[in-house]
Amino acid sequence: MKRNRVQLLLILGLLLLMAVACSGPEDGGEANALVPEPTPVNTEIVLTVTPQDNTPSPTTGVTLVPTETQTPAPITPCYSEDLPYAYAESPAMVGWRYFAQQTNLSSQVVYFPDTCSESEIQGNLEYLFYTDQEADRTTILLLSETQLGVMGSMYSHLNTNEFWAMGPEDYPMVLSTDGYINPNILIYRIDRLYGEGHEGDEILGLMMGLAEHEYIHTVQARNNPDLAELIWGDPIYQAVIERYANLDNNSGSYYFQATYSYLSLIQMLDGLSEMGELDTRVKSVLGEMEISLEDYLAVELVNYDTHLRGLLVSVAGEKYLTHLEKKPVNALLLISRLGLGDVASFTLVRTVYDRYVDDYNLWYYGSSEEQYLPESFDLLFGP
C-alpha cells in the first residue's frame, strides 16, 4: 500500500507542482489543484510521539533534578554500549545504524544492565541529560520496562501513549525540569525493538523511518530549546513540527496529512514568488516583527532537509528543486526553517500565508473556489 501511495503522489505531484514553476492561469480560466487531497495512511501501528490533537498529559513521577551548575561531576558509567545480541541486531537498531551511516551521524547506543543500582542509574541519567557532551553525537537510550524512578516515568509515558520511542520534543516535559536538557537523546523501548509482532516484512523500513523522524526532532530541539514546551502548548505548532519530521519517511499514521500540508505551503509561497511578491511580503512581515531580512537570513540553524528535498524530487523532479533555489528568498528556504523549529519562521510563514493565500488562490485558481487552498494556516495544519 505504501508503494501505491508513493506512486500516486509521484504521478500527481510531478504534474501539478511543476505547474507552479512554469505557469499560472493565463486567461482567468480554471486550473487543477497542485497537491493531492490528504489520504489517511492505513498503518496499524503508531511510531511517533505526541499526536496533533488530544495531546496526552505528560506522565508524572520521579523527576531528575540537575545540580545548580547543571554540569554534574564526571561519573563512572553504569550504562553500557556492549549491547546484547538481541538488542544490537533488532530491527530498531539495524534501522538506526543504516540511517546513521547513510547520513554520516555520530551516535552511541546505551542501556542499563540489571547489575546497575537505582542510585547508579539516577546519577548516570543526570549525566546524560544535564551534561553538555559532544554537540553532534546522538545518544540512543534503550529503556527497559520498569516502574522505578525517572526511567519508570519515561516508560509509563511511552507505554500509556503506545509510543515506541521519543525524543526532545517529549522528554523535557516528562522530566519537568527547568534549564538545559541535552537535546541529542532518543529513547527507545526495549520491548518494541522488534515492533509489536504484526508488521512482517515492513518492520525494517518502519524502523528506518522512525530513526529519521526521531533524529529530526533532535535537530529541531537544537534550534529551539523550548521545542517541547511549545509543542505541548500549541497544537498548530505541534502539527508543523511533527509533520515536517514525518515527510517522506512513513513513520507514523498520526501525521498522514504531512505531505498535503507541506506541498500546499510550498505551492502557495512559490506562487507568490512567481507573482513577484514573495520577497516584498516577507520583508514587510519581518519589519512588523522588528527583524531585518539580513538579520533573518544570517541566523544559522542546524539543518536537516534531506527528506524534504527527497519528497520534492519524487513529486516534481530535480528541475523543480533547482527552480525553488534560484532566489535568495524562496519557498524551500522558508519552509525548511519553519520545519526545523525556528520560532521566527513560524510567525513569518503563518502570517504570510494568512494574509496572502486569498490573493494566490484568485491568481492561480480564478473562480474555481472548490480548488482553493485552505483559507488559513491553522486550517492547513489543523486536525
Q: How far is CA 113 from the centre of its chain?
A: 31
pLDDT at 63: 55
Tell me if the pTM is above 0.75. yes
Residue 53 has pLDDT above 90, yes or no: no
The whole-number average pLDDT for the span 121-136 is: 86
State the Cα–Cα distance between residues 238 and 228, nearest whole angstrom.
9
Residue 298 has pLDDT above 50, yes or no: yes
pLDDT at 33: 44
Amino acid at 316: A
**149 dihedral zone (left: phi>0; alpha: psi -120 to 50; beta):** left
Residue 158 has pLDDT above 50, yes or no: yes
Closest CA to 113 of 125, 121, 101, 123: 121
pLDDT in tens, 351-373: 999 999 999 999 999 989 999 99
CA angle 40, 45, 49 (to 5 degrees): 90
SS (H, E, C) the chain: CHHHHHHHHHHHHHHHHHHHHHCCCCCCCCCCCCCCCCCCCCCCCCCCCCCCCCCCCCCCCCCCCCCCCCCCCCCCCCCECCCCHHHHCCHHHHHHHHHHHHCCCEEEEEECCCCCCHHHHHHHHHHHHHCCCCCCEEEEEEECCCCCHHHHHHHHHHHHCCCCEECCCCHHHHHCCCCCCCCCEEEEEHHHCCCCCCCHHHHHHHHHHHHHHHHHHHHHHHHCCCHHHHHHHCHHHHHHHHHHHHCCCCCCHHHCCHHHHHHHHHHHHHHHHHCCCHHHHHHHHHHHCCCCHHHHHHCCCCCCCHHHHHHHHHHHCHHHHHHHCCCCCCHHHHHHHHHCCCHHHHHHHHHHHHHHHHHHHHHHHCCCHHHCCCCCHHHHCCC
pLDDT at 136: 86
pLDDT in tens, 312-329: 999 999 999 999 999 999
Residue 198 has pLDDT above 50, yes or no: yes
Most confident of 7-21, 52-66, 238-252: 238-252
pLDDT at 268: 97
CB-based burial, 98-133: b 16+ in 10 Å, e otherwise: ebbeeeebebebbbbeeebeeebbbbbbbbbbbbee
Q: Do you know the residue count of the chain? A: 383
pLDDT at 59: 53
Residue 257 has pLDDT above 80, yes or no: yes
pLDDT at 342: 97
Weakest mean pLDDT among 10-19, 135-144, 200-209, 331-340: 10-19
- pLDDT-based confidence at 6, cuts 50/70/90? very low
pLDDT at 34: 46
**Contact predicate 66/130, CB 8 Å:** yes
